[in-house]
Amino acid sequence: MRPPAPLAIISAILLCCAGFCPRANSQTKPAKKNAEATVSGKVTIKGKPAPGVVVGMRSSQPAQFDPTFKATTDQDGNYRIGDVPAGSYEVAPVAPAFVISDVNNSRGQTLVITESENVERIDFELGRGGVITGKVTDADGSPLIEERVNLVPVDQRNQRGPVYAVSSGFQTDDRGIYRMFGIRPGSYRVAIGEGTDNFYGRFGRTRPAYRTTFYPDATDPAKATVIEIEEGTEATRIDITLGETVQGFSVNGRVVDESGKPVANVSIGLDRIVVDGNNTSSSGGGTGARTDRQGEFRIEKLPPGKYSVSIYPPPDSDLRAEPVTFDVLDQDVTGLLIKSSMGASLSGVVVLEGSRDNSVLAALAQSYVSAYVREGQNITSGRADRMKPDGSFRVGGLRAGTANFSLDAMRNVKGLTISRVERDGVVQPNGIQIQNAEQVTGIRIIVAYSNGSIRGVIKIENGTMPPSGRWFIQLTRPEGGVHGSITPALADSRGHFLIEGLAAGSYEVIVMASGPGWPQRPPNAKQLVTVTDGAATDVTVTIDLTPTPNP
Amino acid sequence: MKRYLYNFLAALTLLITLSIAVAAQSQSDESLANAPRTGAISGRVVNESGQPLANVLVNVRAFGAGTPGRTATTDSEGSFQLSGLDPAAFVVTASLPGYVLAPRDPDSTPNGYYHLGDSIRLEMIKGGVITGTVTRSAGEPVVVVPVRAYMIRDSKGQPSRYGAPIREQTTDDRGVYRIYGLPMGTYVISAGGGSSSGYSVSAYGTDVPTYAPSSTRDTAAEIFVRAGEETANVDIRYRGEPGRAVSGIANSAVVVDQPPGFTITLNATFNGASQSSYATYQPSGGRGFSFYGVADGDYDLIAQSYFPGGDWVISEPRRIKVKGADITGIEVTAKPLGSITGRVVLEESKAPECKGKRRPLFGEIVVGPWHNEKNAPKDQPLFVWGLGVPTLPDKQGEFALRNLAPGEYRYNVRPEAKYWYLKSISWPSSPAPSGPSSAKATPPNRPFDAARNWTTLKSGDRLSGLTITIAEGAASFRGQIDLAEGQKLPPKLFVYLVPAEPEKADDVLRFFASLVSADGSFALNNLPPGRYWVIAQAVSENESNVLSKLRLPDEAEARAKLLHDAEAAKIETELKPCQNLTDYRLPFRSAAPTAGKQPALGP
């Protein structure tokens, strides 16, 4: 589709102006989405044209049902993707047996495209990926079925180019055989099993946990055989024999209320706590365990380690409990006691201000209201409730502290923000203070929908960007008033960026360099921009790479 | 979108689990005489040769509860146990990668539900494998293309029911795929098409699926897979033809509580069996739905959604003709399905021999709808029948069968206590016009026998007042077949009890059939006291579900014939209330044990 001519001229003028007047360079024009762009380029394998390769484009911030775009290369390796609306995209060949040769753009390229733009020479050079295949058996020689196989790069550099992720990952089939392909040249270890510190996905497993075992049969990574993969090589018979299983222990306990009576039918959650030096991290989730009529629960087959158990009360319950921490050493753990009590609650109404857009209303009508309570450094007690059709909500089972809100609709609809939260008509800029077991009513969450945007170009003076360099763009609002942060944007290789869903007002655009290869302290630049609702504001940010003398 | 396809499939799998019970043998008996407050279900999982299977994940779930249930893993002896369970009817499933549950024989294990104290034997067999290579015309491999196996007929050659399992694997860098863990049956295999998501670009999602060997669905090769066997070289020459897009929006007729989203399927009929060929999802508050890679042809488009409270809404099938162009702007409205509500009444016996016997708990009595397949609307995909799942009465005995598609229904009810029997299923009167209809005209204001007649349910009908009476005083009848010299036991021999009292000749709930074990023994339970004719008859080996079919309202002729044969055989017995008749010797003289002796009972 061709844009109306006057619009094209105006944008040309604006870009010129922006270039000439770096100090007053932000301009606005209506955000029109119907002028579509074209992206084209060439795919080569070892310098030779690669026909029949699909090149795909998807949104940089994809949602489940966003449209995607694709085209197939012709006999000369050329592709041309048409009818692309303006926006920010990831472009890459869909060639899972191959790797992109450019290690700095190993997953493809980011492109920020404006209306009716004709982006050319988005080229990709591919090399055939390596293959590793083998069989996984247990100590008895029986094949292990549907066991996940992990590829561990020896060289840290290789982690920049992860293997193409097949939806189901690489796992063994019914014969215990696996085949990993599309592997970037480098040195790798192949590992299987879960180990004691890799907790994710532990629950609902039918099989015993095996200690992480590296090819051929080492539990110590230092004793693993390293596999060298070059372009297109196939490493066969990388067979792994799993050794000892991680012995698991059972844990049982009881959930009681304030008067010591059993609490039946609550789900039990479990977190694994990993202490690594000064860092403590935890991960976990639901266990499938539930309390019986005596309030008792049992979790099976936990490998040794540090854990905490908590309760997951049903959504309409006000029950809450502090997690109980325990260690599994070399025997079953019994008699854990989780003392629950009635928590605080927050209730009120969600109000959309300044928009009657039907799709926004529909998204909002289905939304969950989540409350997060902070006390000191800890954010705990996040609970959610689905909004009623009249916008009312009630979130219960909360601890004392400072509560803030989020709506899941904010993830699905760009430009939906909580503009302020009121309690009994008074704005609460720092969150809602709640006391122990307090039933707080009269909350109003005022939500605004705005669709202003900032489109920018980064201009480099007195130098060039290193090949692996990146630009991040962060927005802040000098006058404050934003609940939640705006996700940082990434500029494409041409220095273009786009940030959408912004409320009207002034913003500070901060451009920061990242990535290795900068000659000095990574440069950055700031600029003030005024955004109007329903419009795109163009901005050019100039970065001067002239070396600054050390202070 | 693939994820939603899986969710949809998962939902269907759940439905299958609910409607078809697992293969097992249950030995619930006197152990239930004094029902404990809580108890255990234990069992053993073995392979086809009886060897124990370790590390099998067994799930035990109270029937009708919205909870995921409890799980246990079998030990090296194949054994599992779950204790501390509250009394209920339980559904038991088992999973082990690469294995499938052996198909349940509905005649030897008619009851698919378990109770506290049951010891269960589950048999799992290694699933079948289909493997091959997907290439383009010049022979180059098609890499990471989704390959799907659709079961079109089950192991008995019956069109697969209730959303046949669809298995998906992607090809590797050589174009090789391998789909394993397949239940025995007949399959068609397709590559490519039918999916798209905003997160990644699918190279083949907008193509028309190519069916093995290189065709559209109409001429697809049908591949029979046996358990544990591998069918190799099921290669696909990939056509890569662009498919059409079909898009529109689904709405709900129920506006109070918006459903979370819609699953939309495109169903096509091949050789008389409907196949859900494409599935997509319209998220809540969504702007609509789209299918990609749709092949030219005729489809029925159906939108459905599940409400958190347990009700489904479903649209009437919309006929779509795809021919050479995209289709846009389809609007479908999903409406609530019908329901039948009623109550279970327990009728105690005054007979002194029945004193102190355990009453069944309402929470154990599974009431299931059974639709008339012969008269079912042809444009409904089979999964619709899977939505109307069995239910349990509440503490007052009240039950609601929900999500019933329009059609004709009868009911499956089991008393679940040794000395109780199913006495009657009836409507207070014929609640015409929207109520049940019968094959015969029924006089008004008389109880209407809902066991002998189908209940007709029109779209969205809500019928109430069905009464299921379970009475105390049931007898049991056990014995042994006496064969004539040199005679062999036929492979499928049934012992039938048919009412000998003339006034009971019409009572379908007094017709009983039980498969004779290999050792010649038989056992019939939960029998109303009274006089019966006893007869043993062989049926064809392909017959299944003999008792259920014998009780179908339209099988009056088959019942009359059986009654006639039994009267002629002149073996009569009388069962007293709560009597346990054992060691009965039943002579069997097979005149000519021909296959299909009772054609009226078979499909």
Question: pLDDT digit string (tens) for A137-183?
Answer: 988 888 989 888 888 888 654 444 443 333 346 889 999 999 999 99
Optimal mutation site among A45, A64, A148, interface B, most CBs of chain B within 10 A: A64
* Res A130 pLDDT > 90: yes
- Cβ contact (<8 Å) for B201 and A56? yes
Residues in chain B: 603
Which stretches within B111-160 are classed as H helix?
none
pLDDT of residue A3: 36
- Cβ contact (<8 Å) for A68 and B202? yes
Higher pLDDT, B2 or A379: A379
Element (H, E) at A472: strand A470-476
- Cβ contact (<8 Å) for A54 and B67? no
Is B240 at the interface with chain A, CB within 8 A?
Answer: no
Optimal mutation site among A68, A88, A290, A407, interface B, most CBs of chain B within 10 A: A68
Instruction: Give the residue from B536, B421, B556, B423 showing the smallest Cα distance to B490.
Output: B536
Higher pLDDT, A394 or A193: A394
Q: Residue A143: is the preceding peptide bond cis (ω within 30°)?
A: no
Chain A residues touching B2 at Cβ < 8 A: 167
Confidence of residue A11 (pLDDT cuts 50, 70, 90): very low
Which pair of structure tokens corresponds to residue A535?
Answer: 């419009």
CA atoms within 13 A on the CB side of B365: 30
Task: Tell me how close the Cα of B526 comes to any Cα of chain A, in angstroms.
Answer: 32
* Res A245 pLDDT > 90: no
Is B56 at the interface with chain A, CB within 8 A?
Answer: yes
pLDDT of residue A441: 94
pLDDT of residue B65: 59
The rounded distance, in Å, linking the Cα atoms of B129 and B182 is: 6
Contact assessment for residue A57 and residue A81, using Cβ atoms and an 8 Å cutoff: yes
Is A485 at the interface with chain B, CB within 8 A?
Answer: no
pLDDT of residue B148: 93
Among A202-206, A444-448, A474-478, B329-333, whose mean pLDDT is lowest? A202-206
Closest CB from A168, A206, A300 relative to B55: A206
Confidence of residue B30 (pLDDT cuts 50, 70, 90): very low
Is B460 at the interface with chain A, CB within 8 A?
Answer: no
Q: How far is CA B374 from the centre of its chain?
A: 16
Among A68-82, B226-240, B326-340, B535-549, whose mean pLDDT is lowest? B535-549
Is A58 at the interface with chain B, CB within 8 A?
Answer: yes
pLDDT of residue B439: 41
Which pair of structure tokens corresponds to residue B12?
Answer: 């269907």
Amino acid letter at A238?
I
Closest CB from A146, A166, A173 relative to B170: A166
Is A197 at the interface with chain B, CB within 8 A?
Answer: no
Chain B residues touching A181 at Cβ < 8 A: 172-173
Confidence of residue B560 (pLDDT cuts 50, 70, 90): very high
Confidence of residue A378 (pLDDT cuts 50, 70, 90): low
Task: Report, as an integer, the average pLDDT of A231-259.
Answer: 88
- Cβ contact (<8 Å) for B56 and A206? yes
Task: Report, as an integer, the average pLDDT of B171-200.
Answer: 88
Q: Which of residues 124-183 of A touch B (CB under 8 A)?
A: 129, 131, 145-146, 164, 166-168, 173-174, 179, 181-182
Task: Report, as an integer, the average pLDDT of B386-411.
Answer: 88
Among A148-152, A336-340, A412-416, whose mean pLDDT is lowest? A412-416
Contact assessment for residue A317 and residue A396, using Cβ atoms and an 8 Å cutoff: yes
pLDDT of residue A242: 84
Is B260 at the interface with chain A, CB within 8 A?
Answer: yes
Higher pLDDT, A86 or B269: A86
pLDDT tens-digit series, residues B187-208 = 999 999 866 666 778 889 889 9
Optimal mutation site among B129, B144, B249, B282, interface A, most CBs of chain A within 10 A: B144
Contact assessment for residue B260 and residue B306, using Cβ atoms and an 8 Å cutoff: yes
* Res B421 pLDDT > 80: yes
Is B67 at the interface with chain A, CB within 8 A?
Answer: yes
CB atoms within 10 A of CB B321: 9
Among A5-9, A82-86, A179-183, B255-259, whose mean pLDDT is lowest? A5-9
The rounded distance, in Å, linking the Cα atoms of B589 and A96 is: 68
Residues in chain A: 551
DSSP strands (E only) in B155-287? 166-170, 176-182, 185-191, 210-211, 223-225, 230-231, 236-237, 244-252, 261-270, 273-283
Sheet holding A452-461, edge to edge: A27-30, A535-544, A452-461, A496-502
Strands B462-472 and B338-347: parallel
What's the DSSP call for residue A148?
B
Task: Tell me how close the Cα of A255 comes to any Cα of chain B, in angstroms.
Answer: 16
Higher pLDDT, A406 or B237: B237
- Widest CA span in chain A: 78
pLDDT tens-digit series, residues B86-130 = 788 888 889 898 999 887 766 666 567 788 888 889 999 999 999
Task: Report, as an integer, the average pLDDT of A384-410.
Answer: 86
Helices first, then strands: H and E counts in chain B: 4, 40
Q: Which of residues 264-283 of B touch A (CB under 8 A)?
A: 283
Indicate the average pLDDT of chain A. Answer: 81
pLDDT tens-digit series, residues A97-120 = 999 998 878 888 989 998 889 999
Confidence of residue A501 (pLDDT cuts 50, 70, 90): confident
Higher pLDDT, B70 or B195: B70
Closest CB from A167, A174, A365 relative to B285: A365
Q: Which of residues 76-135 of B touch A (CB under 8 A)?
A: 84, 86, 95-98, 126-127, 129
Chain B residues touching A164 at Cβ < 8 A: 144
Per the listing, tokens 């006034």 go with B503
CB atoms within 10 A of CB B429: 16
For a pLDDT cut of 70, what percent of chain A falls above it?
Answer: 82
Optimal mutation site among A174, A252, A296, A368, interface B, most CBs of chain B within 10 A: A174
Indicate the average pLDDT of chain B. Answer: 82
Confidence of residue B310 (pLDDT cuts 50, 70, 90): confident
Among A238-252, A333-347, B134-148, whose mean pLDDT is lowest? A238-252
Task: Report, as an integer, the average pLDDT of A431-454.
Answer: 90
Q: Which residue of A has its CA nearest to B255?
A: A389
The rounded distance, in Å, linking the Cα atoms of B302 and B305 is: 10
Chain A residues touching B200 at Cβ < 8 A: 56, 58, 68
ipTM above threshold 0.90:
no
The rounded distance, in Å, linking the Cα atoms of A383 and A399 is: 10
Which pair of structure tokens corresponds to residue B592?
Answer: 């000519």
Task: Tell me how close the Cα of A88 comes to any Cα of chain B, in angstroms.
Answer: 13
Q: How far is CA A423 from the centre of its chain?
A: 32
* Res A26 pLDDT > 50: no
